């Protein structure tokens, strides 16, 4: 981003995956890097295992915290099926980072509807850049499954022109002392994913 273009990132996933925390961290990173930033999400009902999304928008001057439908450049989906739910919001040349984990909603558990198969293949066929990995497995390798959200941030950091040291500093400030090492490890896992 070199002019007044505003960039939009959409975080999507399931309540309880640490999406809001991840989008808080990225906003701090963007602010530290000297940009204006706004983010938007809805709390309340959404916390109880339902769909969660968070819009993050940054640039020289940002008005709307919500991106216009069809204008989002980057999708970070914490669950595979959830990535398919928001494609309408994306530009046709959007970049997608997707956690390949599957979390079944009630209608799928009850056998009323199928879980979409070949979601990643579909994304790869329709979008030029799709990065997919199992964030839970990488988080487990880093030492704690709950750091999957920071793994996702690591992967996202590769797509943004913001110095990695700023990311690391914000991560250090965002967690209690004893969790810093494990989260930095998770961040690195995401960078290498």
Partner 1 sequence: MKVLMSGNEAIARGAYEAGVRFAAAYPGTPSTEIMEEFSKYDGVYAEWSTNEKVAVEVAIGAALAGEKSLAIMKHVGVNVAADPIFTVSYTGTNGALVIISADDPSLHSSQNEQDNRNYARFAKIPMLEPADAQEARKFIKLAFEISEKFDTPVFLRSTTRVSHSKSVVDIEEPEKYKDRTGFVYNAEKYVMVPNCARLRRVEVEKRQKALKEFVETFPENRMEINNQEAGIITAGMPYNYAKEVFPDYSYLKLGMVYPLPEKLIRDFASKVKKIYVIEELDPFLEEQIRAMGIEVIGKAIFPYTNEFEPGIIRESIEKNTKGAVSPYKETLAPRPPNLCPGCPHRGLFYALRKNKVYVHGDIGCYTLSYMKPLQGLHSCICMGASIGMTHGMSKAMKEKGKGKVVGVIGDSTFLHSGITSLLNMAYNNSDALIIILDNSTTAMTGMQEHPGTGYTLMGREAKKVNLIDLVSSLGIENIKIIDPIDQKATGSAIKEELAKDGPSVIIAQRPCALFKRSKIKPKPALKVDQDKCEGCRACIDLNCPPIAWKKGVTKEGSKRKGVAVIDETLCNGCGLCAQICKFGAIS
Measured CA to CA, the distance from residue 24 to residue 99 in angstroms comes to 19
Closer Cβ to partner 1, 46 or 191, answer by number: 46
CB of 57 to partner 1, least distance (A): 9
- Give Cα 57 distance to the centre of its chain: 13
The interface with partner 1 within residues 154-193 (CB under 8 A) comprises: none
User: Which pairing describes strands 51-59 and 72-77: parallel, antiparallel, or unpaired?
Assistant: unpaired
**Residue from 9, 10, 19, 81 in contact with partner 1 (CB under 8 A):** 81
Q: Using CB under 8 A as the criterion, what x/- string covers residues 54-73 for binding partner 1?
A: --------xxxxxxxxxx--
End-to-end, the C-alpha distance of the chain in Å comes to 24
CA distance 81 to 118: 10
Q: Does 48 bind partner 1 (CB under 8 A)?
A: yes
Rounded to whole angstroms, the Cα distance separating 146 from 183 reads 9
Binding segment toward partner 1, per CB under 8 A, in 110-118, 154-162, 171-179, 182-190: 110-118
Name residue, tokens 């309340």: 44
Q: Where are the alpha helices (DSSP H) in the chain?
A: 19-32, 80-85, 106-109, 119-126, 135-142, 148-157, 164-174, 177-192
Indicate whether 5 belongs to the interface with partner 1 (CB under 8 A).
no
- According to CB under 8 A, which residues from 113 to 132 bind partner 1? 113-116, 122, 126
Told to check if 148 binds partner 1 by CB under 8 A, we report no
Residues that bind partner 1 (CB under 8 A): 14-15, 24, 27-28, 31, 36-51, 62-71, 81-82, 84-85, 87-89, 104-116, 122, 126, 145
């Amino acid at each position: 981003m070199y002019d007044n273009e505003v960039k939009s990132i959409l975080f999507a996933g399931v309540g309880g995956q640490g999406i809001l925390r991840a989008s808080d961290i990225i906003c701090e990173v963007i602010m530290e890097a000297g940009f204006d930033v706004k983010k938007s999400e809805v709390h309340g009902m959404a916390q109880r295992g339902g769909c969660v999304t968070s819009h993050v928008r940054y640039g020289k001057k940002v008005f709307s915290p919500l991106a216009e439908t069809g204008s989002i450049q980057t999708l970070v989906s914490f669950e595979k099926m959830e990535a398919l739910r928001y494609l309408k919001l994306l530009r046709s040349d959007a970049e997608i980072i997707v956690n390949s984990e599957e979390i079944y909603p009630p209608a799928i558990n009850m056998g009323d509807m199928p879980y979409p198969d070949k979601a990643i293949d579909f994304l790869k066929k329709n979008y030029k850049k799709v990065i997919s990995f199992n964030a839970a497995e990488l988080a487990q390798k880093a030492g704690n499954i709950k750091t999957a959200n920071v793994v996702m941030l690591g992967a996202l950091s590769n797509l943004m022109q913001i110095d990695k040291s700023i990311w690391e500093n914000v991560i250090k400030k965002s967690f209690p002392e004893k969790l810093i090492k494990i989260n930095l490890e998770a961040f690195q896992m995401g960078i290498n994913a």
